[in-house]
Structure 1
Amino acid sequence: FGSFFRKKMLSSALRRSHRAVLASAVTLARPTAVGALRTLRTAAFANPSSTVAHRRALGGVGTARMMATDANAPYKNIIVERKEEEKVLIITLNRPKALNALNSGLMSELIDALEKADANPQVSCIVLTGGEKAFAAGADIKEMASKSFIDCYKENFAWTWQAVSKTRKPIVAAINGFCLGGGCEVAMMADIMYAGDNAKFAQPEITLGTIPGAGGTQRLVRQIGKSRAMELCLTGEMMGADEALKLGLVSKVFPAAETIPEAIKTATKIASMSQMSVEMCKEAINQSYETGLQQGLLHESRAFWSTFATKDQKEGMGAFVEKRKPDFKDC
């Protein structure tokens, strides 16, 4: 009876507020996480401005050389900065009071920033990150709760988020803290995922009476296998960074303070390569998710052959033969 009563109380909490929804979801997934999430909420409200923490997180990576890519962009929910010398763009989800819950405003801004980055020749690689305590604690339940089927259908709700995965330039996700629900789905749209040792991953939608709706049932299976993906989606339980690394969800795990600097380091290395070859390589690898082996091999071969029409291929191979560093011009 005690267990039943507790579940009823959690159900009531779900209806009262978005923050209660998050706490309840984590409770159902792993009871020991409730205290941590409450502490996280308190800290977020005690320090609503994330600017200082954001700068601190980027410390040691040349923040003095950073500038906004579009000073006129009216972004309220994200921070966009560029490392000019390295052609790296850094996008930070910035709704600290809501633990970076993904609402329509944030996602519209994120997609807009990514589209601008794709069109900007001074950007070759993108780092996507969140706060110290949460990359993104899911979609905004307050915004979703009253939607009807017709609303979702007419709005293409969450389907439009797939634009993140269509970005031609590589995205390195730097994940600290909670990466839940829609947050985990957006992170999986990145090309490389780095996690801090405090990262927690989950698809807790089942605890809210629904299912993942932005790729969780599809990408998670492809990245960690059917059995564990099924278990996570059907129970809503959380997975730590070490297990995420073991299963292949993330590429590397770092101490939390090093996650963003390491992501920027990798992005800088990628940005130093031929941009055309990088984009073609990304496209070829992504084709392996969409096609059979033979069709994928054909796509790879054609992309490979096409690089021989570029000056960068001649420069890269010529530099190797001449034992010098290549100077790619993205042409």
Structure 2
Amino acid sequence: MEDIKLTQYSHGAGCGCKISPAILDKILHSSVPSAVDPLLLVGNDKRDDAAVFDLGNGTGLISTTDFFMPIVDDPYDFGRIASANAISDVYAMGGKPIMAIAILGWPIDKLPAEVAQKVLEGARSICAAAGITLAGGHSIDCPEPVFGLSVNGLVDIKNLKQNSTGTAGCRLYLTKAIGVGILSTAQKRGILLPEDAAIALKSMTTLNKLGEIFGKLDSVKAMTDVTGFGLLGHLAEMCEGSGLSAVIEFDKVPVIKSLPQYLEQNCYPGGSQRNWNSYGHKISNLTDLQRFVLSDPQTSGGLLVAVAPDGVDEFERLLEENGLTQSHLTSLGYLEDRNPEYIIRVI
């Protein structure tokens, strides 16, 4: 088992496997009218992180699912990363996770069952850290290894956060540094330094528990997590849903420090180019460095939070109290009235 490298059995990795925003638009387009459910507070029309159903008692049921192919070679770590990534969608809505169900696709003719067992053990460890049970699941024989979770959560409807409710003037914050897509590509090429592998693993297995706390803040106007579409893609969804534009101050974006040395070796995931092809026409002119960093597909990425100006001091104190470093305590940009030329302007 120690000789098995999971990433050799899949054509993609992590959230970099996500279908591009442009193709996803075509898939989701439908001429069939959908039934209107007044109890469905957030549905597929919102492009948000999870669906939310009104339980009728002031509480919303959050429901989400997320799965992908291995982004690391170690099966236990793969289970941890995939689980943290899936649970993040509940936190991104300001909610509290309550239960998870496993989704497993496994090439039983290529990989032993014992390896899949390690994946599930990793998942259970993250579920335990989130205070929930891995209560069941479904598995199939599949050409490539696939794993993820379906997760349910609860939220007081008054605390529900969406990616489409930003307001002009909100400052933008990101709770994890950008770059795990580039580092995972370096791993597949065999050039990733051990210290950078440790940085990426810690980032991807850290739960976004702060989202449940942010949900209780009136000053947090919009929230989402940054995953496969990169920072630009998920911020563009926030802007379009809110009818706004955004300005990013590139030197204030939290970035894994070693990224430039990998980019100098032309090390970046294919998902970056697919992302840029989907939304690059909505973005101001960028340097190559800015483009590769800001469109880098993240796996189990951080929370992107839009905070009203009068709540910035309280929000930054909260970040500091929860151990975030200086690079996360500084706003990376702001939302503004819709710019007719660009959805996002990078300065």
Same fold (TM over 0.5): no
Q: TM-score range by the shorter chain?
A: under 0.3
Q: TM-score, normalised by structure 2?
A: 0.23
Q: TM-score, normalised by structure 1?
A: 0.24
Q: Which has the higher contact order (CA 8 A, sep 6+)?
A: 2
